[in-house]
Structure 1
């Protein structure tokens, strides 16, 4: 029985601790998962940033968790003592974030049914009339400003609780460069624009054009647009950030590219 990714080499750029399931799915379909993390997630020192920001706002209506990492590192910062987080409503961006909160014993009051980004949360009815409300956004250092800017524009008082940072990992890129130079990479998966930027930086400017010709799978239209601006030409957007959805998109994109190559060879 032929498998969808028979022999295909797929570059997975997720942090090590978040890549295993996706890599396993790729391998189950006969592909080769090339693990090359372009982000490392590091908790911030308590002295630097993890003092509880809830004390800064006298009127906090919402805690917004932006990612699974935000949940995990926030819980670490408070030593797992979740009682103080139960005094306000909790919102989650993405179903995986909501599940992580619920598994920790926290009730999620709001998560977008469709969409997995700030824009999806901002479109929710509960986020329209926030004038005078206090909102804490739990996130990584240096994240997007769109969420806070829009909420402030609607009259909310927004504070950040930054509980982790993203750094470029110290990994050997020679193996990936070899695959690129031999045209043996069949697809690249990136789940954030920062991961894509780091990938380009880690492989070096001399390899950017060759990298840009490799089929690319992303998880949002925003990343697709930014990747196109960087010169990537074959980009597919997964229906959701879930591993099965990403796998389906990888399979479809590789098969489409293979079919087009076959037509070109016939001509």
Structure 2
């Protein structure tokens, strides 16, 4: 058995899936979802974007929730799948799209915006005259990726498919959970997830900031360090495989 005892903060269904993978590796985890996913009601502007997907040279889907909502919309609005190049930040998101007949490019070394931007196929897609790129995402996020694509000459638009809500917990829930279950590591999957963790910790943050914190990207790592986290581990991705690799490379706590 591993010495790690981790707090997972993803939405409930994603935490459950990650917990199963960790359990197979002998790692204990406890779930306290700090994000809830709510689909955004479709506006006429959103419908126009969906109907015009073939206008884009590249469509980037940045998360599993975005992929799930996107494939449902494609089913409703496209009897034949549109033909732009599809990209995703990670393999799990790509699999959702692939299961619905879309051919998706994604980075195999790291599953973050930085790795995606290094893909030759993405750079080729935006090398055409007047390239238009669509990023399917939740409300807010991935601004760095859009900025870099604009530097490459692309026009970037967003299709925001969902919003992330904060579950309501009693103020002492987080420190009490960590103490009761002897948790010795924290896992967040996004910058917003970290912000919610920091907010929920309240006055206990100074103590919790001493625990190893596993984050998905350099951007979130920088955010966590700026808030006072003492040991931040950049997993270079939000997948279970990325987390397991980071756990193996970081010294286990002594129980």
What's the TM-score once normalised by structure 1's chain length? 0.82
Equivalent pair of 2:58/2:122 in contact (CA under 8 Å): no
Task: For 1:248 and 1:230, locate their aligned partners in 2 and report how far apart those are by CA, in whole Å.
Answer: 25
Match in the other structure for 2:9: 13
Report the count of equivalent residues. 252
- Among 88, 102, 106, the alignment partner of 1:106 is 102
Superposition RMSD in Å: 2.8
| Match in the other structure for 1:214 | 211
1:115 aligns with 2:113: no
Instruction: Tell me the equivalent position of 1:265.
Output: none
1:83-94 equivalence runs, <5 A: 83=79, 85-94=81-90
Aligned CA distance change for structure 1 residues 115 and 132 (closer, same or farther; 3 Å): same
Tell me how far 1:15 sits from its aligned partner: 0.5
In structure 2, the residue matched to 1:44 is 40
Instruction: Report the alpha carbon displacement of residue 32 of structure 1 after superposing the two structures with TM.
Output: 3.9
Given the alignment, which residue of 98, 119, 132 partners 2:130? Answer: 132
Paired position in structure 1 for 2:29 = 33
Match of 1:262 in 2: none
In the other structure, the counterpart of 2:162 is 164
TM-superposed CA distance for 1:39, in Å, is 0.9
Task: State which of 150, 153, 158 in structure 2 corresponds to 1:152.
Answer: 150
- 237-246 or 39-48: bigger deviation: 237-246
1:73 and 1:57 map into 2 onto residues whose CA distance is 15
d(CA) in 1 for partners of 2:22, 2:156: 40
**Structural mapping, 1:65-104, within 5 Å:** 65-83=61-79, 85-104=81-100
Q: SS at the partner of 2:133?
A: strand
Distance 1:224 1:125 in 2: 26
For 1:49 and 1:178, the matched residues in 2 are separated by 45
Deviation of 1:183 after TM superposition, in Å, equals 9.5
| Structure 2 segments unaligned to the other structure (5+ residues) | none
Contact 2:53 2:84 in 1 (8 A): no
Q: TM-score, normalization: structure 2?
A: 0.85
Q: Offset at 1:113?
A: 2.7
Higher Cα Rg, which structure: 1
Residue 241, structure 1, aligned to residue 238, structure 2? yes
Distance 1:57 1:106 in 2: 13
Give the 3-state SS of the residue equivalent to 1:106 in structure 2: coil
